[in-house]
Every structure is written in C-alpha cells, then in structure tokens.
A and B are shown apart, each in its own frame.
Chain A
C-alpha cells in the first residue's frame, strides 16, 4: 500500500502534508458537481456505500450512467430540483495535500455563495463549457474571485469530449479569457482542457489532448505554491480572549489568546498594543504543548507580554514601526447577502472586524458595480441581495485595518442586522482591485 505509508499521523503533523482550500465556480451545468465527483472518485475518496447510493438514485431516475454530481448535491431540495443551492464543503487528500473544496452554485442569484466560498480559498477553479466559451458568468466569477483576493485562478475548459478535444477551441477560449482578465488583478492564471465526465486531464494526463503539455488538474493543485500567498510581513494579532487561570499554581499567569492574522511573531519582539498605543516586548508565546520560538498564520497561540498593560478582546497587537490604520471612517466594497433587506444610506448595523464588534452607520453609497460588465452605477441609492458596491461607513469606535488586498484578515468585516441578527453583508476595505 503506497499511499498509506505517507498518510501516517506523522506526515500529517510534521508539515509534509499541508492544506489547500479551493472554490469551484461556473454556470449551471458547466460540470462543477461532476468535476468534484470525479476528483473524489479518482482519488479514491468516495466510499463504496456512497457510490452504491448514488448508483441507486441514478438508476431510479433512469440515467444511463452514474451521475457523479449526486455525490455532492446533498440536500433534499437540491436532489429534487437537480440543482445545487448552497455552498457545500468536500474533502479529499492525496499523499501530498489535503484539499477542502467549497462547491458554490453558479446561478445569478447566488453571488453570495461564491463570495462565501471564495473568501477562504487559495485557488478558484472556474469552469467554462468548451462549447459555449467565455460567457457573462465567467467574467462575473473571475471578477468575484479577484474581488475576494483569491491568489490563484485555474480555468478548466470542460466538456472537451463534446468538441473533439479541439486545440483551436481551447486556444480561443484561453485568448478571450486572458484578454478580459487583464483588466483585473489576477496574480496567477492557468488553463487546463478537461472532461469532467470522461476524466481527461483531471487526475491523469489525457491521450486525447496530445497538444496540451501542461499538468493534469490534480497535479497542478498538488504542486501549487501557496505558502507565499500568506502575509508574513505585517504582524497583526487580534486579541481573542484573555487567559487568567483561577487556580493557585498559575495565579500570576496572564496570556492573550488569539490566532495570528499575519506576520511572524517571536519572543523578544517589541510590540505595540492598540488602541492604547502602549509598547512592550513579547515575553513568550505559549501553546498547550509548550512555548514556541515563533508564531505565524494561522497558528492559534497565547502571547505573554513583559509589562502588565491593559489589553482586552478586540484589541490588536502589532509592531511599533508597522501598525494598521485606526479608522472610524471606512471605505469599503461590500457584497449584500440578505434577501429581506437592502443597504441604504443612514441605516445602522453591527459590524464585526477581526475580534472586535462595533456599530456602523452607512454614510454614503459611492456606486454599485455591475458584476457582469464592471460598469459603475454612481446613481445607485441602495444595494440589494447579490449586489456589490462601494460604500462609506462611520464606525462608533476605531477599527485597526489594512487594505483587503494587502491583508484579507484585517481588511475584511461583516455587517449584522441588529434586529434579526442575520449576517447581511461581507465587506472588503479599500477600493476595487485593478491591474496596475
């Protein structure tokens, strides 16, 4: 058994196996569910009983082949309507990596799902039907992926089996796509000709595309270098919880628990606590397994400081010469996610940014973006479900922010309706990403 040798507990803890998150996007019927089913199936992640149940349902419906899409289309309403209605998470692993897939539906009304899936993704897989080429939705998905700052985009030109594996068709799509993507900030763009149904270039390179000399999708995902996508420059440590044991043996212990948002922290580093602005040094960085020499994202640690200063949840630890901006006036892009309300100037919301809650009032809507044409409507007076716009907020207390495109952890926030408690918007601080 070759795979199990590498899949031992050690390989999974010592860093030789890491985690890659990707989101899929495409219009209805481009083959997202089939592709995911194929990846799970060919990487032997599908269990026999799951496959049995999918085969049974396929037969009941009178399909001539096993519909791999059924592996991911989970909720009853979806199976009945045969569509994917919400973000579903799937997992598979190879000896090199564990993959977390956010399967996001492609209907126009579900922009919010794509935003959700892309918010944590290292890679966006955008499916294009080889017969249809680049369509409005492809542009929208690419725009959303860049808006959310997804560092890698892989365009899967799917259903190549239906166009006789034509190099010309593939090249035309690549050209069209590259052309419009040049207007956006896409750090890394790759094209792969595939057939999700037949399996060409999904896990193994296909003999049907001798003209294609790139890797199969899975090898590409296995090799993609994502470590350098993290911001390791700017130390940002939002304090999540203050640990003060109520026991005799640890009475003097006072530690600031949190997840490193960005940067690398080390004992001895000079740091500043915000909002007080008081400076001190890191005495130690603790974990339940003992102190560590350094902490980097996304480690969850407990920081002890040399001086006793007043710090509580919602405060931020940074370096004295490199701090986030403390802002009460926030300029942001938002995606509206609530079907029962819309954003209009004058409304107030609860806002959550890192570990800090505050209240925010909408001062102004600068424009609404048409996600298909990228046209800006400066006359817009409200932002509704699945719409994206640039707005100005006034917040009741300073937030410690960086531009989203530099630091998604400290550049993002959510708005929550204070009466329904629903999360109504995702916000990204700073303007639209542009090709520089």
Chain B
C-alpha cells in the first residue's frame, strides 16, 4: 500500500524528465550544454533516464575554455563513452586565435565564453540548449523561465519573458531565435548533492575532499597546479579541501572540508552557510548585478 506521494527528489526528477522530453518532442535541434560540473552531469544523467532504453537523441556541447582540470575532462569523456553520445567542443582558445574574442586582463575566460557559445549554437543550427542553471543560485536566475527565450543575438530580456503557466511550455521560435532550457530550475544545491548520492552518479573527484597542496589568497584556497602556480613570496600548505564548483581552473577556489564521500558532502551542504558561488567564484563578486548583465549578453 503506498500513499501515492512522490518524494521531493523524485518529484524534481520527474519534472526535469518531463521538461527534457518536451524539448526533444518540440524542438528541431536541441543540444545539452555540458560544463563537466555536477549540475550538467545531473542533467545528463536525467536525459539518459528520460529516453531509456534508447540513447539520448541529441548531442552535448562543451564550451572548452582551455582552462580545465584534467579530471573534469576525464569524467566528461567517461560520460560520452558510457552513453554513446556525440560531443561537440567549442574552443575558446581557437576563438581567441581567430580573433573572435580577446583575452581579458584578469585571465578569466568566463565572459568571453559567451560569443564562443553563441557562435557554436548558430553554426550548428541548435534551436534549444539545455543549461544546468538553478534558480537558487542567484537572484537574476530566480526570475528566469524554464523555457527562456533568446532573440537572434542570443540575448535574454528579463522584462519580456513569456508567461509560463502550469507545465505548458512554449518553445516556438522563429529562424535564428532559440530557447535556453533549464530543467534544474527548481533544484537547490542540497537537492543536487542528495540526488548524486542517492543515484551514485559519476562526478569528477575534485568534488570530494582530499589532502591537496593549496595557497591561501585573501581567504580563498587555490590548489597549486599548472593553472595556479605559487607566486613569488607565497607559501603553500597541505590541507583537506574540496571544490563546490568546477569553473575555470585558474579561478576556482576550494573550500576546507573533510567530506570525502558523497554522503558526507550531503551532510556538509545541509549545514553550510554560504552560497557556492560566493564561496568559490571570483568572477561573480564583481557587482550586485553582475549575473543579470551576463545573462542579458547571452551567458548560460
């Protein structure tokens, strides 16, 4: 005898699967934007569930900043192999070499990813792109639709969003326009970790705590590696740390943690008092409205 109540995680999963299927049924050429981070992995995992026992009927695209942790790339390739899907790589380095974008003075390739992404979307004729954004991440996201319309410049206009009522999504677009789709809109960081633990999902080991050589810069702990070498006068130390996000390797900091298992991360996430972006992403600190501006430009 069951009570016919679906649990929190299974409800969220069902909603995401519904959204993913809806896009495939209605759009001409969807693609899943895959960063290698936990959110895009969870999204890919659910895409596989949505079409089982068939394969995922769309490719995934990685906007490769050239600043990747190797374990993230390894994990990406394991997923591609396991699911037998097509991987499209859009290279930021290549775009710099071609003069499409210019390197920013601070070394961040976060902002210059956007034109590279938009170019690849256009070149491949993608009319729908799944993104792993969650509304709990940040205030501008909290108001974005699940099916988020982009004009033919790839831009988001927060004042001109399509109303989204019930779960009746409208993905209709004209030639050149597209939609960004956020199947994880209603997930929180804790939901993501709980789901990864419940489903035993393969993620890069950077997310698990381990003793690593780190350097402390203004309270942010950076692992010492090819992307963030020790500067003159700095000293490193060995600490148990893990990553809460895996963005560009030269900008993503780790947090002190003993959580070396998925279950331990769930417990720790339930107790943390600081947002994942605030903790580890230097690039979001710029201004209160930073994310809103980047989204308007077409950032995912």
Contacts and interface: CB of A to CB of B under 8 A. Distances in A.
Contact of A412 (B14, B139, B166, B271): B166
Contact of A75 (B21, B158, B194, B279): B158
Interface in B1-27: 2-15, 17-18, 21-22, 24-25
Interface stretch (B35-43, B63-71, B184-192, B204-212): B184-192
Interface stretch (A87-95, A213-221, A270-278): A87-95
Contacts of B191: 12, 98
A168 B194 CA distance: 47
Contacts of A17: 7-8
A90 B140 CA distance: 12
A76 B24 contact: no
A168 B137 CA distance: 43
Interface stretch (A2-10, A190-198, A374-382, A388-396): A2-10
A334 to B, nearest CB: 11
A397 interface: no
A119 B54 CA distance: 33
A48 B274 contact: yes
Nearest to B26: A357
A329 interface: no
Interface string A286-312: 111100001010111010000000000
B49 A12 contact: no
Contact of B165 (A115, A230, A250): A115
A68 interface: no
B50 interface: yes
A108 interface: no
B5 A227 contact: yes
A119 B22 contact: no
Given A57-B288, A119-B165, A244-B54, A19 B12 contact: yes
B168 A8 contact: no
A112 interface: yes
Contacts of A416: 170, 172
Q: Chain A CB within 10 Å — which of B25, B135, B165, B190 has the most?
A: B165
Nearest to A259: B18
Contacts of B288: 53, 57, 79
A164 interface: no
A370 to B, nearest CB: 22
A26 to B, nearest CB: 18
B173 interface: yes
Nearest to A355: B25
Contacts of A250: 53-54
Given A49-B274, A250-B54, A414-B168, A241 B198 contact: no
A337 B198 contact: no
Contact of A14 (B7, B14, B49, B136): B7
Interface in B156-180: 158-159, 161-168, 170, 172-174
Q: Chain B CB within 10 Å — which of A4, A12, A120, A246 has the most?
A: A12
B267 interface: yes
Interface stretch (A129-137, A318-326, A421-429): A421-429
A222 to B, nearest CB: 13
A266 to B, nearest CB: 12
A108 to B, nearest CB: 17
A85 interface: yes
Contacts of A313: 25
A287 B163 contact: no
B289 interface: yes
A13 B14 contact: no
A344 interface: no
Contacts of A1: 267, 270-271
B273 A240 contact: no
Given A8-B267, A89-B135, A89-B186, A240 B6 contact: no
A232 B174 CA distance: 39
Interface string A103-121: 0000000001001100110
A246 B7 contact: no
B5 A421 contact: no
A154 interface: no
Contacts of B2: 294
B103 interface: no
A253 interface: yes
Contacts of B142: 72, 74, 88-90
Q: Chain B CB within 10 Å — which of A100, A250, A300, A337 has the most?
A: A300
Given A8-B194, A288-B52, A298 B188 contact: no
Contacts of A57: 288
Given A288-B48, A299-B14, A9 B195 contact: yes
A15 B170 contact: no
A13 B24 contact: no
Given A47-B278, A300-B21, A421-B172, A19 B198 contact: no
Closest 3 CB pairs of A and B: A74-B139, A49-B278, A288-B49
Given A1-B270, A15-B5, A74-B292, 11 more contacts: A12-B195, A16-B7, A49-B279, A53-B288, A119-B165, A119-B166, A257-B51, A300-B14, A409-B166, A416-B172, A423-B164
15 contacts: A8-B267, A14-B7, A48-B278, A50-B278, A86-B161, A88-B143, A90-B142, A91-B188, A115-B165, A116-B165, A243-B53, A244-B54, A298-B14, A353-B168, A426-B163
